[in-house]
Amino acid sequence: MPTTSIEGPHNAGNVGTDIGDGVNYASISATQMNRVKETSTGASAMAATATPSGAKFFNFFNASQIPSDATILGVEVVFGTDFDGSGEAYIGSFGSSGGTFDVECYLHNGTAYSSKLVWVAGAQTGITLSAGNDSAEFSGGNKRYVNTTSGDDVGFGGTSDLSGLSWNPANQADFGFAITFQNESSAMVAGILRGVGLRVTYSVFVDPPPTYSSQINSIILNSGNVTITSGNIFL
């Protein structure tokens, strides 16, 4: 099945009450959020120092990157994509604090948010997943989810996972990802370093080729047109 390339966000904003879980997430400054954009340069870490707080990232794709007649089969959130060549890209904690921070993530199909996403990557040192694997607690400073393979680390979703949402290519410019931070202790600092991307797997219907039956001397066209510019057809 075709897949898009891994694309980073080109816009960002605050979550507020948009997720619909009853929480009004505090704002993170535009300066901080803009650091996560694919095209940003310079400082690349968005840090959250208060909870609950959250940010959303969108405009990963332009309005026509996914064919308009495609059926979307799966959406993945991929960490560790080195957009700026810095060699770093992760979600986690910063500094040397001894506290903790809970991190939860959501997908957005252009009109609605998913439920909390399940972390499909295994827990690493200093990262404890909840019983349902839909929340990650980062304990201590400089604990990070990193790209641990030579390829890409899929943080959430899959090639056949729609995260409970209906996806329409018409909304692709607004496909997005949100991250929230909760239950901070001991002045913990957590956040995300530029490198989060989305990848979409989809299918496109292809008309079957015409069939020829020698028994009834006919050509059967299932759809489309036949244009003859020269020559003859003999049956």
Summarize the confidence of residues 107-113 as an average pLDDT: 96
Per-residue confidence (pLDDT) for residue 150, from 0 to 100: 47
Phi/psi of residue 19, each to 5°?
A: -65, -30
* 115-164 per-position pLDDT tens digit: 999 887 655 778 888 888 899 898 888 888 765 554 567 888 889 999 99
Phi/psi of residue 173, each to 5°?
A: -65, -20
pLDDT at 78 over 90: no
Q: Cis peptide before 52, with omega less than 30 degrees from 0?
A: yes
Domain boundaries, the chain: 11-206
Q: Are 149 and 198 in contact (CB under 8 A)?
A: no
pTM of the prediction?
0.82
Helix residue spans in 77-187 (DSSP H):
none
Secondary structure (DSSP) of 77-106: EEE---SSSSS--EEEEETT---EEEEEEE
